[in-house]
Structure 1
């Protein structure tokens, strides 16, 4: 059995799965249960606020400085995926880091537009509702890409990344793996 190392701290894991749950609840309740939809949205907004803070002061692999890469690095990594030469990263790979930023920005914008729609100034404003729905659909598409990326990376590197986000542990780095 391979040696395992701790990567994701409990706060990152609880954040991740709580955000999954809050988005799923908000999506399911959007047309029928307005109060539940709003509370799920508020929970998502609070979770994003927490993650922004934890991305600055959290543990090594939770920090944005560890996984937010330049557009050129991300493009190079995506090219390496297409040619089958991508390296395994102990933390988030460059594409995964970009996806985290995209998911968080989209979720934050979704929360803001949802909240705006509850205010007197924007209640009934069609553009706010349409923007909110567009962002929800965009976020659903990003989630699909995220899950696809997790499956591809897991397959290519022979690693169960879903389990890693539950246990916090991944296979210890081998030759050529990126740990920084």
Structure 2
């Protein structure tokens, strides 16, 4: 069984081929990883960064990706504005999105995690501060974290998945990967 932890950079597709428009030159997993027979266990949006797990084991892939297993996923989220206790409490209770309420999340304000610089950098507004939160969810709807922070009035500027279950991004720079025990 192979399990690969990959630090997906910003603007990289979470798949090995680009099925987009003809002639598109978007970067994919194949630009970074040349290991046959592995597949992503879950996804990260093009504009999200961080931990992506890949495996050749179908059962492990299902356990990681299927929301029924409620595997915790922790994100470091830079939001526009200074997060309030009220907004954090709403995230902890679960928020209502267009596709229904979310499960309760773990949410807390954190100090700037001093991550690698993003390329391109986030948009910065001199008149509007920003801050970081740690958000742990146990489901995985499309663009869920971004929609949750927006629902409580704090749009996401940068989104980095730091942890999935017991696996973390510790020691991996953007674009780097390593095999780990499952």
TM range (shorter): under 0.3
TM-score, normalised with respect to structure 1: 0.26
Q: Which structure carries more strand by proportion? A: 2
Higher helix share: 1
Higher alpha-carbon Rg:
1
